Amino acid sequence: MTIQQNLLKIRQEIKDYSSGKNVHLLAVSKFKPTSDIEAAYEAGQHAFGENYVQEGVEKIQYFRDKGIQLEWHFIGPLQSNKTRLVAENFDWCQTIDRLKIAQRLSEQRPMTQKPLNVLIQINISDEASKSGIKPQEMLNLAQEIVQLPNLCLRGLMAIPAATEDIDMQRTVFKKMEKLFAELKNSFPQQNIDTLSMGMSGDMKIAIECGSTMVRIGTAIFGAR
């Protein structure tokens, strides 16, 4: 199937699963050539996620030079020495897991640009190999982030442990749904509207459990 056909299929699935709720599709384009991104763009996809800073910046610059305006999300672990590139080039950073990174992004965000949209990454499956904070640390970090002038806290992101067990998927995603509700209730003045969870293998359950943004790579672009 072509990228266009894959996108049509996924959009229909999202529509079927979401019961009328607004769920955004983020196309994960890491390791994919700009020609694949162009094919997705021509099929109506405008939001793309990149895991690696340098690769993402090169793609962003490529499309800027062509006059194509896309929405770029950074979705990988972020080291402090790479924050400037993210602050200057991306529209979103979904992987905030410590105050130092948030502070640097705010300080380095150009004043000519809108505040950088950010999500707090939760290590919901408590995996040592995964980035993200513990659920009980969420509110403290959020309180610090909302005071940073060049960031806009929009919600939460998670990458649960991979499993084909539907009940396990649902249990973990329900935990994220509760945390998201807690965050919204705690910061009613903020535009908390994004719960980024669900990928090619668990999109259906994620949407059923309140995801507002799914991150899909393989099902759009094929295996890497």
At residue 129, the pLDDT reads 75
Confidence label for 128 from pLDDT (cuts 50, 70 and 90): confident
Instruction: Read off the pLDDT of residues 183-214 as tens digits, 9 standing for 90 and up.
Output: 999 999 999 999 999 999 899 999 999 999 99
Mean pLDDT, residues 78-93: 97
122 pairs with which residues across the strands? 133, 158
Confidence label for 65 from pLDDT (cuts 50, 70 and 90): very high
| Sequence-separated (6 or more) residues with CB below 8 Å from residue 5 | none
Rounded Cα distance, 1 and 9, in Å: 10
Q: Is 197 left (phi over 0), alpha (psi -120 to 50) or beta?
A: beta
Q: Is the pLDDT of residue 163 over 90?
A: no
| Contact in structure between 14 and 25 (CB atoms under 8 Å) | yes
Percent of the chain clearing pLDDT 70 (strictly above): 100
Q: If we measure between CA atoms, which residue out of 105, 81, 80 comes closest to residue 92?
A: 105
Rounded Cα distance, 210 and 222, in Å: 26
Rounded Cα distance, 180 and 48, in Å: 23
Please state, as a whole number, how many other Cβ atoms lie within 10 Å of the Cβ of residue 62: 13
Query: What would the DSSP string read from start to end of the chain?
Result: --HHHHHHHHHHHHHHHHTT---EEEEE-TT--HHHHHHHHHTT--EEEESSHHHHHHHHHHHHHTT---EEEE-S---GGGHHHHHHH-SEEEEE-SHHHHHHHHHHS-TTSPPEEEEEEE-TT--TTS--B-GGGHHHHHHHHTT-TTEEEEEEEE-PPP---HHHHHHHHHHHHHHHHHHHHH-TTS---EEE---TTTHHHHHHTT-SEEEESHHHH---
**Token pair in block for residue 191:** 């535009």
At residue 144, the pLDDT reads 98
Which amino acid, 73?
H
User: Would strands 47-50 and 24-28 be described as parallel, antiparallel, or unpaired?
Assistant: parallel
Phi, psi of 84 (to 5 degrees): -60, -40
Question: Could you give all domains of the chain from N- to C-terminal order, each with its CATH number?
Answer: 3-221 (3.20.20.10)
